[in-house]
Structure 1
């Protein structure tokens, strides 16, 4: 399974929740598949989906799912220490680990080599961390949301993108409709 296949399995689970989605192909794929006002698509900041998701979870009580990539987490590794030391029970970080920088040509990441992001998250203080197969990701996310315990899920999937159009929705519109969902 590639990331887009994982997203297909997640659709019914995350649809009613606040979702912050990683820059590039992940945001484009989620937008093309199931655009929702409750989805915040990152359009220009690599490595910040997990940080924004944690802040959003700290600021309100609704469940928040941040979907990040292994390459983005490696770009902002400090976010794992922040998350590990500031656990929010309503926060789930889903790291789609395809071992590549999927948005820029599938160059390999260190997570596809020797770096174990789940071990790094544990070393940073995160207590509920799991590595799952692509096929088991939806069940793990569903359980994490129901648990009211901050959870980091590293979903191991194959590298690959689906051809989808770029997001043409104005970033201000994306922000405003998302903030309206947060306020609801």
Structure 2
């Protein structure tokens, strides 16, 4: 049986200490907020398709591990990001793709990952990528990726499911300024 997206996020956050986390719009951000709110989390409340690009930009400019929690539907809108990630290969970036083969925040309409491998595309872009669907393997892979000094893509296959959680109650400007304050000390010189 496949995990749910909220389980994949919960498992990841069990291993997160002071790393920077950028989270995709809609239910993923809502679920992350519900699991573990902290200043180092950037909740995207718009800009579908840009989570991986924002995460990459942060990784290139910070001396801190950056994790982008991306959805399959969102990444499909900006597949060119994988090519850029493969070209730049920052040693502090992990792209954590939660692939439910659906646009989860708009009603679970099917995405093309029912017959397209995001892991295969990432590998074709020269990125160390792995696809996983079982919790035990996921835990091992997360732990390894957080300790490695290289770019890593983890595609977590999950079932289409939205946890019934409230919207992020923080004002977008508060999210922005709180996040900016939390990353100030990690800028590359």
Could you say which TM-score interval applies, normalised by the shorter chain? over 0.9
The aligned residue for residue 176 of structure 2 is: 175
Aligned position for 2:158:
157
Secondary structure at the residue paired with 1:67?
strand
TM-score, scaled relative to structure 2: 0.93
Deviation at 1:101, TM superposition (A): 0.6
Q: Secondary structure at the match of 2:159?
A: coil
Matched, 1:139 2:140: yes
Partner Cα distance (2:84, 2:138) in 1: 24
TM-score (norm. length: structure 1) = 0.95
Counterpart residue number, 2:89: 87
**Alpha-carbon distance in structure 2 between the residues aligned to 1:15 and 1:99:** 29
Change (3 A) 1:43 1:75: same
The answer on 1:44 being equivalent to 2:46 is yes
Where 1:43 maps in the other structure, the secondary structure is coil
1:7-22 superposed matches below 5 A: 7-22=9-24
1:75 shift after superposition: 0.8
RMSD after superposition: 1.1
Give the 4+ runs in structure 1 shifted more than 6 A.
none
In 1, Cα distance between equivalents of 2:134 and 2:16: 16
1:23-102 matched pairs, under 5 angstroms: 23-102=25-104
1:87-107 C-alpha deviation (Å, 9 max, x unpaired): 001000000011111101111
Partner of 1:114: 115
Instruction: Specify whether residues 27 and 20 from structure 1 end up closer, same or farther in structure 2 by C-alpha distance, changes over 3 A only.
Output: same
| Separation (CA, whole Å) in 2 of partners of 1:137 and 1:57 | 22
**Unpaired segments ≥5 residues, structure 1:** none
Question: Structure 1's 106 and 38: CA in aligned 2 closer, same or farther, altered over 3 A?
Answer: same
Shift of 1:15: 4.0
Aligned-pair distance for 1:66? 0.4
